[in-house]
Amino acid sequence: MKVSPNTVVTLDFTVANASGEVLDSTEGKQPLQYLHGTGYLVAGLETVLENKLAGEDFEVTLTPEQAYGEYDESLVQSVPGEMFDGMEVSEGDTFVAETDDGHRPVTIVEVAEEYVKVDGNHPLAGMTLSFKGVVREVRAATEEELAHGHVHGEHDHDHDHHHEGGCCGHHH
C-alpha cells in the first residue's frame, strides 16, 4: 500500500539543521506513527512521503516555508509578569497559551521583574531542515482513527486530549 491520504504511516526519521546538527530522531525510540493527509507533518515532508511504499527511504531538505515557516518577529511579545502569577517560570520554558488564534505553544525567552518576554514562533521557525529516514509500514486507517483525526494503536496511549468515555470508546 502506498502512502496516501487516510493511511497510517510508521516511519523512522532524523531531522538536522543546515549545519548538520541533529535536532530530533526516532533512533533508539518508538518510530513515529501518524495519519497522512491531516497536516500532522510539515507540508514539505508530507509531499515527499506521498506514494512511498513500506521499506522506501526518503531524504529531503526543506526551506522554512516548506517546514515551520519564516521567523515572525511580531510573535515575540512582552507580557505583564502578573499573568504568570504564582507560576515559577524561567527562560526556555514552553507552555501553551490561549491566543486570538486558539492554542499556541510559546517559549519564554526572558524573565524580568515587570514582564516576561514570550516567543510564539515554532522553535524550528526560520530554519532550513533536512529530513531523512525510512517508511516502515503503511496501512489503511480505521474508521475510528479517521473520525478522531489521529492514530490509535498499541504505542499511542499518551493522548493529550480526552474524549467522553475514553479515547478508544471504552465506557466504564
Q: Are 76 and 109 in contact (CB under 8 A)?
A: yes
Q: Is residue 156 part of a domain?
A: no
pLDDT tens-digit profile of 21-33?
999 999 999 999 9
Residues 7 and 39 in one domain: yes
pLDDT tens-digit profile of 2-13?
999 999 999 999
For 75, the grid coordinates are 510573535
Write the DSSP symbol of residue 121. Answer: S
Structural domain that includes position 50: 2-68+125-148
∠ CA 35-36-39, nearest 5°, is: 95
Kindly report the number of other CB atoms within 10 A of residue 48's CB atom. 17
Q: Is residue 154 part of a domain?
A: no
d(CA 68, CA 126): 7
Radius of gyration of the chain (CA): 19
Q: How many domains does the chain have?
A: 2
What are the per-10-residue average pLDDT scores of the chain (172 residues)? 97 97 95 94 96 98 96 94 84 84 86 92 95 98 93 56 38 34
d(CA 122, CA 138): 28
Question: Chain centroid to CA 21: how far?
Answer: 19
d(CA 48, CA 29): 23
Q: Is residue 164 part of a domain?
A: no
Q: Which residues make Cβ contacts (< 8 Å) with residue 48, sequence separation at least 6? A: 58, 60, 131
Residues 39 and 109 in one domain: no
Residues 61 and 34 in one domain: yes
CATH code of the domain in which 103 resides: 2.40.10.330
pLDDT at 3: 98
Residues 29 and 109 in one domain: no
- Against a cut of 0.85, is the pTM above it? no
Q: Is residue 41 part of a domain?
A: yes
What is the length of the chain? 172
Question: Residue 63 corresponds to which amino acid?
Answer: T
Residues 43 and 89 in one domain: no
